[in-house]
Structure 1
Amino acid sequence: MTTRSRRETVTFKHPFQLKGLGRLIPAGSYDVITDEEMIEGLSFASYRRTATMMIVPGAPPHTSSMEMISIGSLELADVQRIDASAP
């Protein structure tokens, strides 16, 4: 099975919270990594998402370290929408 990873940077203007993390993430730019696998048997290349991870600062007092957390694509879209609509 062929897999690939895509990396993009998302920027938040306001602090935000993710389900299950239990702390506020500061505003800023964050890397989001999406793993995808090729769908076999098609006459064209097509991929399906298998995992999405976001790299965020570690929990206090380890804020100088980074932590990779799993995030659903719908949750990421919701957090981005809330950030964009906040004053």
Structure 2
Amino acid sequence: MTTRTTQMIVRFSAPFMLPVFDAPQPAGDYRVEQDEELLEIPSRLAWRRVSAFIHLPAIGIDSHTHQMVPIDPADLDAALEKDHQQS
């Protein structure tokens, strides 16, 4: 099966929490990588997200440690929607 990895930057205007975090993360821009696999659909290309990772800390935050944390893409979508509703 064909797979690809896409990268994007997401912005949170307020601290946010995802189920895999021990504590809320501060507002800021975060790099997210998503792995997708090609679906076999006749006459068109379609991709399905199969995993996602968020890079911690936020872009521009100095830290001695950097993490790439696996997250559920649906949890990220819900957190972004909540953040946009609050701002």
User: Which TM class, normalised by the smaller chain length?
Assistant: 0.7 to 0.9
Q: Secondary structure at the match of 1:17?
A: coil
Q: Gapped runs of 5+ residues in structure 1? A: 58-62
Q: Could you tell me how far 1:2 is from its partner in structure 2?
A: 1.3
Residue 23 of structure 1: aligned partner: 23
Contact 2:30-2:54 within 8 A present in 1 as well: yes
The TM-score, its normalising length taken from structure 1, stands at 0.81
Aligned to 2:36: 36
8 Å Cα contact 2:11-2:29 kept in structure 1: yes
Q: Which residues of structure 2 form unaligned runs of 5+?
A: 58-62
- TM-score of the two chains, using structure 2 as the length reference: 0.81
Pairwise CA distance, 1:85: 1.9
Describe the superposition over 1:40-81 as per-residue Cα deviations: whole angstroms up to 9, x where unpaired. 363432222111111112xxxxx4322111111211111111
**CA 1:23–1:45 in structure 2 vs 1: closer, same or farther (change >3 Å)?**
same
Runs of at least 4 residues of structure 1 off by over 3 A? 40-43
Residue identity matched to 1:27: A
Q: Alignment length, in residue pairs?
A: 84
User: What amino acid is the match of 2:7?
Assistant: R
Q: Secondary structure of 2:34's match?
A: strand
